[in-house]
């Protein structure tokens, strides 16, 4: 079982391992001030990249942030079913008890409030970050924080012959669950990327062959819950950089 990140903009996070955080340091320098015209700069940039470089941060501090948990299209677990079809689905229930994480985020400096996105604000077809940003705009949120889990597990039979003798009543499987939580912070208005964060948690558990599925899912939820806690700590570092950047630009 592997839950993959299918939201295309999250791909930029995939190359980071362990705990990581990054705040976009700011926009490009005004090259016209050192002899390079804006036209020359644009002519020297690939057309596919121009729109990304031309985006500027538009939020002001203190900022209101909408938050969305997304997973692969057609996501379904014992405790949640993803909303929407297309390139990703949105989890609108707290499958991993994300309320403590939201409350901790809300206490960071210069954050006015954190508002989870409800399915009532979303269309059924989800193809890009635009649908989520539209939902965030309806909440009058300056920014949008999107997070996802990439979780894998491996079930190793550590005592095959013993399981026959004990009829599966003794713990004979080691379940290793690795969950990586990744997040990206966008400007609601134009999709400007303020920063990213990522954190990983690993859970090792013994199970019996008779309750293996329940044990795996419980370990999965625990690993995702713990990785989310670590993600909040990493995001706090990212947010400190964003806060500094916007304050320097007169965002307060």
Look up the domain containing 63 and give its range.
2-26+49-248
Dist. CA 220–CA 35, nearest whole Å: 56
Determine, yes or no, domain membership for 239: yes
Determine, yes or no, domain membership for 72: yes
Contact assessment for residue 86 and residue 126, using Cβ atoms and an 8 Å cutoff: yes
pLDDT confidence of residue 96: 76
Domain count of the chain? 1
The domain that holds 123 is classified in CATH as 3.30.160.150
Q: pLDDT tens digits for 64-94?
A: 999 999 999 999 888 888 999 999 999 988 7
Determine, yes or no, domain membership for 44: no
In total, the chain counts a number of residues equal to: 252
pLDDT confidence of residue 23: 56
Dist. CA 136–CA 145, nearest whole Å: 10
Q: Give the three-class secondary structure for 212.
A: helix
Q: What is the pTM of this model?
A: 0.78
Candidates 237, 248, 152, 167; CA nearest to 208 is 167
pLDDT confidence of residue 209: 43
Dist. CA 178–CA 175, nearest whole Å: 10
Residues in the chain where the model's pLDDT stays below 50: 1-17, 24, 31, 36, 159-170, 209-210
Determine, yes or no, domain membership for 37: no
Determine, yes or no, domain membership for 184: yes
pLDDT confidence of residue 114: 95
Determine, yes or no, domain membership for 19: yes
Determine, yes or no, domain membership for 34: no
pLDDT confidence of residue 55: 82
DSSP strand E in 88-172: where?
89-91, 111-116, 125-126, 143-157
Determine, yes or no, domain membership for 129: yes
CB atoms within 10 A of CB 18: 10
């Amino acid at each position: 079982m592997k839950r993959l990140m299918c939201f295309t903009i999250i791909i930029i996070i995939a190359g980071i391992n362990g705990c990581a955080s990054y705040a976009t340091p700011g926009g490009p320098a005004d090259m016209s001030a050192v002899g390079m015209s804006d036209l020359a700069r644009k002519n020297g940039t690939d057309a596919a990249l121009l729109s990304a470089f031309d985006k500027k941060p538009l939020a002001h501090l203190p900022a209101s942030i909408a938050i969305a948990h997304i997973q692969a299209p057609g996501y379904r677990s014992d405790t949640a079913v993803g909303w929407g079809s297309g390139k990703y689905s949105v989890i609108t229930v707290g499958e991993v008890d994300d309320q403590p994480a939201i409350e901790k985020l809300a206490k960071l400096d210069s954050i006015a409030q954190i508002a989870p996105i409800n399915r009532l604000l979303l269309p059924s077809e989800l193809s890009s970050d635009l649908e989520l940003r539209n939902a965030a705009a309806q909440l009058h949120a300056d920014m949008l924080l999107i997070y996802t889990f990439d979780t894998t597990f491996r079930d190793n039979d550590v005592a095959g012959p013993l399981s026959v003798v004990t009829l599966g009543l003794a713990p004979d499987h080691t379940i290793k669950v690795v969950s990586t939580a990744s997040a990206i912070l966008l400007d609601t208005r134009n999709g400007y990327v303020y920063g990213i964060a990522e954190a990983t948690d690993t859970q090792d558990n013994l199970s019996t062959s008779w309750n293996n599925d329940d044990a795996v899912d419980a370990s999965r939820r625990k690993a995702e819950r713990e990785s989310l806690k670590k993600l909040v700590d990493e995001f706090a570092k990212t947010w400190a950089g964003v806060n500094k950047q916007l304050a320097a630009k007169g965002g307060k």
